[in-house]
Amino acid sequence: MPDVASHTAWFTTIADKLGAISNCPTIALSRTNYYFTRPPSNPKGNVTDLLKPNPRVANDGALAFAAAQRLHTKYRMTEGNTCYRGGKPGMSDSFGAALWAADLLPSARVV
């Protein structure tokens, strides 16, 4: 599957278009990634906001999983971190980040 970046709703469009092909190619895997703040410079990049619930993670996973099922393939969240570019001191290297990662694991379904 192509990388949809943060536009997970595209999985539905892709699954619909591929599913409409009479000789649909075999898809090996559907995958997503999630970075809480994206770049470390994001002002929301702090432990307080990190530990707040984010329903988007589960919703995006459910969308991607449903699209994968329609294409008879597997879904995995293959990447997840507090931010990219090596992390943010004081947030990515904190005990709060460890708690956040443990809370994120159920969203990283391997199906």
Percent of the chain with pLDDT over 70: 94
| Inside any domain, residue 49 | yes
| Inside any domain, residue 3 | no
Give the highest mean pLDDT range of 2-6, 27-31, 68-72.
Answer: 68-72
What gap in Å lies between CA 32 and CA 99, rounded to an integer? 21
What gap in Å lies between CA 37 and CA 83, rounded to an integer? 5
| Inside any domain, residue 87 | yes
| Inside any domain, residue 91 | yes
* Mean predicted lDDT score pLDDT of the chain: 86
Confidence band, pLDDT 50/70/90 cuts, at residue 109: low
Instruction: Give the bridge partners for 80, in sequence order.
Output: 34
| Inside any domain, residue 63 | yes
pTM as predicted: 0.78
| Inside any domain, residue 4 | no
Quick one: which of 53, 46, 104 has its CA closest to 79?
A: 104
List, for residues 76-108, the tens digit of each pLDDT value.
Answer: 888 888 998 889 999 999 999 999 988 887 766
Confidence band, pLDDT 50/70/90 cuts, at residue 110: low
| Inside any domain, residue 2 | no
* Res 71 pLDDT > 60: yes
List, for residues 4-24, the tens digit of each pLDDT value.
Answer: 777 888 889 989 998 888 888
Count of structural domains, the chain: 1
* Token pair listed for 21: 């092909």
The predicted pLDDT at position 31 comes to 84
> Which domain does 66 fall in, by range?
10-20+27-107
Helix, strand, or coil here: 75?
A: strand
